[in-house]
Amino acid sequence: MRIGRLGNVGAERPIIFVGSDGYVEMADVIDEVSADFLSSMDVPLLEHAVDAKDAAGEVKSLNDERIGSPITQPHRIVCIGLNYADHAAESGMPIPEEPIVFNKAPNTLVGPNDDVIIPKASSKTDWEVELGIVVGQRCSYLESPVEAWDHIAGFVLVNDVSEREFQLERGGQWVKGKSCATFNPCGPWLATADELPDVQDLAMWLNVNGERMQSGSTATMIFSASHIVWYLSQFMVLEPGDLINTGTPPGVGMGKSPQRYLKPGDVMTLGMDHLGTQRQKLMPHT
């Protein structure tokens, strides 16, 4: 099941993607892709509704309508840093023995093809293609990573946009470099686990202006998706709808020689197996 939201900002409506470029309207079945919906999501029931709409000829073409984030504003966005050994190396940092955890402001969340705004006084805005985990059930002190699977609603493609000076040179608080407006494009869809053959074997990539910057796979994550959910539950209560960004492979601008950062007019395109693609244009703050 690939659940999405379509429409102008603030007026998005729930849909389910069908085939390569189609969808069916789901507002008669889903009020909103909210915490309440995710915690009680009935995939077989949704599949039955989609099949009925498909049989009735209700599949529509996406055309040029805006795709919103597939989830509404989460209670929190939790990020895992340096979760790929080769990315830790390019950052000049040791491979972590435990997940590095930091927060990102929930209001950074935007649609997969929305513009990304370069912050005021920024000279080091950077890109990070990542796997995102969407929490489906309240998590607290899970017994094991295996138990974590029962608490995951699905997975999304995210771009964990970062301002490196704010993150690393302004007092060491990573949240400052992660929480600027528009810094978390998400989607195009939320894929339930049955859509993914193996969440730990998904290829991912990111281009800037058509030039390949990142190529990687979730197969090289240090800490797996289920381990991360279990681990976080030992320190905080995860709520339905919370988003977890799980780290990025090598190829970020900070790790290049010379370093390379985003500027107004640049275009980022990125994608991941089974989780779709994104496109964002960089715009100046006005």
Rounded CA separation 163/125 (Å) = 4
Residues 53-91: tens digit of each pLDDT: 999 999 999 988 999 999 998 999 999 998 998 777 877
Q: Is the model's pLDDT at 265 over the cut of 80?
A: yes
Query: What was the pLDDT predicted at 110?
Result: 98
pLDDT > 70 fraction of the chain, expressed in percent and rounded: 100
- Say which residue the tokens 């990020």 belong to: 79
Residue 90 is predicted with a pLDDT of 79
Mean pLDDT, to the nearest integer, of 110-134? 97
- β-partners of residue 216 are 204
Residues 6+ apart with CB under 8 A from 249: 84, 86, 87, 129, 204, 214, 215, 216, 217, 220
For residue 95, pLDDT over 90 is answered with no
> How many alpha carbons lie under 13 Å from residue 205 in its C-beta half-sphere?
11
Whether residue 93 is predicted with pLDDT greater than 90 in this model: the reply is no
How much is the pLDDT for 43?
93
Stated pTM of the model: 0.96
Instruction: Report the pLDDT averaged over residues 122-134.
Output: 97
Question: Rounded mean pLDDT of the chain?
Answer: 95
CA triple 256-260-262, angle to 5 deg: 140
pLDDT of residue 242: 98
Q: What confidence tier does 148 reach under pLDDT thresholds 50, 70, 90?
A: very high
pLDDT greater than 80 at residue 173: no
pLDDT of residue 82: 87
pLDDT of residue 263: 97
Domains and CATH numbers, the chain: 2-61 (no CATH), 77-284 (3.90.850.10)
- pLDDT band for position 94 (cuts 50, 70, 90): confident
Q: 182-209, pLDDT tens digit by residue?
A: 999 999 999 999 999 999 999 999 999 9
Q: Is 240 exposed, middle or buried (0-12, 13-18, 19+ CB in 10 A)?
A: buried
pLDDT digits 0-9 by tens, 18-57: 998 899 999 999 999 999 999 999 999 999 999 999 999 9
Q: What is the mean pLDDT of residues 126-149?
A: 98
Give pLDDT, residue 73. Answer: 84
pLDDT of 213 above 90: yes
Q: What is the pLDDT of residue 226?
A: 98
| Token output for 108 | 């950074």
